[in-house]
């Protein structure tokens, strides 16, 4: 039973320290609020839950600022209307979704304002204030002015209408069951609270693989139910998006083509847009996977991606909607004997020639790496490559290739590396985090999206510790400059306790977990050594002689894929010069990506002096030791966390240890048998 995990990082646990509680109570007992938009109401309801939970007092919410101490919650407009003055500079600095939290002392009054230009800003400010209180931050003299770095902060659900979730590891869908949309709006509302608390402002509620039944979500029989979900999310400042089927005019319309140049097709989508907006006036737009992994698209009609995306975008223009078009396009039927085609090159080859051809309400959504969410990949060269096109970064919070929420694998450290990666697009310092927010190239849109990790399990994410990935994702979208340590500490304090031993222990576990996972799975940038289809567990040749374009090229002498211009597939040239040279050259290529870019002999020496083969053995033995150690660390805080959570995590960690051993032995045995080279330390290899 992991019920106490249901509220995730919004636990608002009662303060044990009564002095501290007293200090906050001064302000928190009285809330001054004057507005009644649904978003402000959400903020007020949250304040009520939070203060009641933490301080044990039901705050009095009134339209008055007469008390000596209170918290004002409302828009700038209201703030001014009630004659609370605010610095003009601050006022100008607050953007559309930004907020200001400020302590004010005047004469006989001592109060805190939480304000924003819009009610959404007020909502974000309120969640932020509650976070400050939960983490015991001093409010006396506080001033926080924050604006989100990324305009679009979106979660993608790969949920199907039968209730299954593609790559979902936390139960069934919270949106659908048995080909119907759920009536459990309470759960959706709680999800909205979680998402809004970390600043998420968009959600695509169905799988990008839009099958027969899901194609109908944009029909009149389903739209009223989609609208009910959208209504709930709207109260939390979240716009609803739908994944659509490019062939919808044929499948649910009465046309015999979906050609984007066909006049009837254009009219069909325009009417469809009008219909959708009649149910959901603030509908976000369409998310589209086209001409990818057997999904239909413009290629059928000899049109390109820009033709396809623009046609849909035109239909959405009148309503301010957007088309998010995915760049995950490659040949998934490649003959394994074809050594020239390199899947890593595909997205860039498809989309770079189209740079500048998309309408300005089209956004290209690009996976972080050129392959597919492996444990380690270089950053996609489309970031910093595309300059005249809106882009958003796509991350995967659900742990498809990173332990499927059975293993602990905290992804914030990986995402930080991605966001900090310098593309050199406009000279040094052109980090991905700057590129994707759209500012450097004056793009209209930008942001970050991720495939979510939530299902109908009581604790939302299957493995309770995996809640940290969702939390960290949202926080990074809002502010990619937050350090991984800051985000991690915050999450632990909100979820468990502010006790130093708890924070230090769990933080260490989380921050090391990605590297640990990498150690006992795939070394040096080699991916795909997994079982086909479900992608769980070791299988070195699982994808080696197949059609998906995913190889490691191990033979008896060496391993790795040569992607150099000199001898290989030429992938390195898709990067700007500085990175192209770094990857091209064996000496300067970062070692953790060595086998992604180069094919080297097993006896090649790494900088540590270890050979590749010895490195494989060493990391795999070490990874298992580290996994064992994770459990020891967790045991050390047994008395300090709720028993049910303690037990749940122990069980997962035990499973992880066993499975790490499986990985170690399969990988080591494979390479030992392939090479005949013994482990220098003579450990057991089969
Ligand atoms: O990683 C692959 C997944 C597919 C997924 C696809 C995509 C939704 O294995 O399950 O399909 O990527 O991103 O479109």
* Mean pLDDT, rounded, for 459-481: 98
In this prediction, residue 647 has a pLDDT band, given cuts at 50, 70 and 90, of: very high
243 has pLDDT over 60: yes
CB within 8 A of 321, min separation 6: which ones? Answer: 273, 277, 283, 284, 285, 286, 361
With a pLDDT cut of 90, the percent of the chain lying above it is 98
**Sheet containing 109-116, strands listed edge to edge, beginning at the edge strand earlier in sequence:** 60-62, 30-32, 71-75, 109-116, 99-106, 143-146
For 548, the token pair is 């998906």
pLDDT for the residue numbered 4: 79
Establish whether 166 is a catalytic residue.
Answer: no
Establish whether 91 is a catalytic residue.
Answer: no
- Residue by residue, what is the 3-state secondary structure of 254-289? CCCCCCCCCHHHHHHHHHHHHHHHHHCCCCCEEEEC
Cα(532) to centroid of ligand 1, in Å? 13
Collapse the DSSP code of 470 into the 3-class scheme (helix H, G, I; strand E, B; otherwise coil) and give the result. helix
2 has pLDDT over 90: no
Catalytic residue among 400, 422, 490, 518: 400
For residues 656-686, one letter each, b for 16 or more C-beta atoms within 10 angstroms of the residue's C-beta and e for the rest, the string is bbebbbebbbbbbebbbebbebebeeeeebe
Pocket test for ligand 1, best of 165, 324, 347, 372 (most atoms within 8 A of CB): 372
Q: Is the ipTM of this complex over 0.90?
A: yes
Spatial distance between the Cα atoms of 576 and 565, rounded to a whole number of angstroms: 13
Ligand 1 atom index nearest CA of 289: 14
Establish whether 293 is a catalytic residue.
Answer: yes
Question: Is 104 in contact with 128 (CB distance < 8 Å)?
Answer: no
In this prediction, residue 555 has a pLDDT band, given cuts at 50, 70 and 90, of: very high
Spatial distance between the Cα atoms of 231 and 578, rounded to a whole number of angstroms: 48
* Mean pLDDT, rounded, for 589-595: 98
How far does Cα 84 stand from its chain's mean position? 38
Residue nearest to atom 2 of ligand 1 (CA): 372
Tokens 């270089």, residue?
Answer: 378
Which residues surround ligand 1 with Cβ inside 6 Å? Answer: 158, 166-167, 208-209, 289, 293, 328, 372-373, 400
pLDDT for the residue numbered 1: 36
pLDDT for the residue numbered 482: 98
What pTM was estimated for this model as a whole? 0.98
Cα(292) to centroid of ligand 1, in Å? 10
Spatial distance between the Cα atoms of 247 and 626, rounded to a whole number of angstroms: 49
CB within 8 A of 17, min separation 6: which ones? Answer: none
pLDDT for the residue numbered 3: 61
pLDDT for the residue numbered 571: 98
Torsion (CA) 24, 29, 32, 37 in degrees, nearest 10 = 100
Cα(332) to centroid of ligand 1, in Å? 12
Catalytic residue among 17, 93, 140, 293: 293
Angle at 257 between CA 255 and CA 258, to 5 degrees: 105
Catalytic residue among 119, 291, 372, 394: 372
φ and ψ of 28, to 5 deg: -75, -15
476 has pLDDT over 50: yes
Please write the tens of the pLDDT for every residue from 121-157. 999 999 999 999 999 999 999 999 999 999 999 999 9
């Amino acid at each position: 039973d992991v019920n106490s995990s249901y509220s995730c990082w919004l636990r608002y646990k009662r303060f044990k320290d009564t002095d501290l509680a007293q200090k906050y109570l001064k302000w928190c007992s009285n809330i001054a609020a004057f507005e009644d938009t649904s978003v402000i109401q959400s903020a007020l309801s949250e304040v009520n839950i939070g203060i009641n939970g933490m301080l044990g007092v039901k705050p009095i919410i009134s339209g008055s600022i007469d008390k000596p101490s209170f918290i004002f919650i409302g828009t700038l407009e209201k703030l001014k209307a009630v004659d609370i003055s605010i610095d003009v500079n601050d006022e100008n600095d607050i953007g559309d979704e930004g907020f200001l939290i400020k302590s004010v002392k005047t004469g006989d009054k001592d109060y805190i304002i939480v304000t924003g230009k819009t009610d959404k800003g007020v909502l974000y400010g309120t969640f932020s204030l509650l976070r400050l209180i939960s983490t015991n931050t001093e409010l006396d003299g506080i001033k926080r002015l924050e604006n989100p770095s990324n305009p679009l902060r979106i979660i993608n659900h790969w949920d199907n209408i039968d209730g299954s979730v593609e790559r979902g590891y936390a139960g069934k869908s919270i949106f659908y069951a048995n080909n119907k949309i759920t009536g459990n709006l309470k759960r959706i509302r709680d999800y909205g609270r979680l998402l809004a608390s970390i600043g998420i402002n968009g959600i695509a509620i169905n799988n990008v693989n839009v099958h027969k039944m899901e194609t109908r979500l944009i029909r009149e029989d389903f739209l009223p139910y989609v609208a009910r979900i959208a209504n709930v999310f709207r109260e939390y400042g979240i716009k609803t998006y739908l994944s659509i089927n490019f062939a919808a005019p044929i499948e649910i319309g009465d046309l015999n083509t979906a050609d984007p140049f066909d006049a009837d097709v254009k009219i069909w989508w325009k009417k469809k847009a009008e219909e959708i907006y009649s149910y959901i006036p603030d509908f976000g737009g369409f998310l589209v996977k086209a001409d990818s992994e057997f999904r239909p698209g413009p290629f059928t009609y000899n049109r390109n991606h820009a033709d396809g995306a623009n046609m849909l975008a035109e239909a959405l223009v009148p309503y301010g909607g957007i088309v998010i078009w995915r760049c995950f396009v490659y040949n998934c039927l490649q003959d394994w004997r074809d050594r020239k085609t390199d899947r890593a090159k595909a997205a860039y080859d498809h989309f770079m020639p189209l740079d500048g051809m998309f309408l300005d309400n089209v956004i290209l959504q690009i996976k972080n790496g050129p392959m597919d969410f492996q444990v380690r990949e270089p950053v996609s060269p489309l970031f910093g490559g595309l300059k005249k096109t809106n882009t958003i970064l796509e991350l995967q919070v659900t742990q498809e290739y990173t332990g499927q929420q059975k293993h602990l694998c905290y992804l914030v450290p990986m995402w930080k590396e991605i966001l900090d990666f310098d593309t050199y697009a406009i000279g040094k310092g052109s980090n991905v985090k700057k590129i994707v927010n759209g500012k450097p190239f004056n793009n209209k849109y930008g942001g970050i999206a991720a495939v979510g990790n939530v299902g109908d399990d009581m604790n939302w994410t299957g493995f309770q510790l995996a809640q940290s990935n969702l939390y960290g994702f949202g926080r990074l979208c809002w502010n990619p400059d937050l350090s991984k340590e800051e985000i991690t500490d915050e999450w632990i304090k909100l979820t468990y306790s502010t006790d130093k031993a708890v924070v230090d222990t769990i933080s260490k576990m989380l921050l090391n977990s990605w590297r640990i996972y990498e150690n006992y799975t795939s070394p040096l940038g080699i991916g795909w050594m997994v079982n086909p289809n479900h992608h769980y567990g070791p299988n070195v040749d699982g994808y080696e002689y197949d059609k998906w374009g995913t190889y490691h090229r191990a033979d008896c002498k060496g391993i790795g894929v040569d992607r150099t211009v000199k001898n290989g597939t030429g992938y390195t040239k898709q990067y700007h010069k500085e990175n192209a040279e770094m990857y091209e050259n064996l000496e300067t290529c970062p070692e953790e990506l060595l086998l992604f870019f180069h094919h080297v002999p097993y006896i090649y020496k790494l900088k540590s002096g270890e050979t590749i083969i010895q490195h494989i053995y060493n990391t795999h033995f070490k990874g298992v030791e580290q996994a064992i150690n994770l459990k020891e660390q967790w045991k050390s805080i047994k008395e300090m966390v709720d028993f049910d959570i303690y037990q749940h995590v122990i069980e997962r960690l035990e499973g992880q240890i066993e499975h790490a051993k499986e990985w170690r032995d399969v990988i080591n045995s494979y390479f030992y048998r392939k090479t005949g080279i013994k482990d220098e330390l003579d450990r057991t290899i089969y």
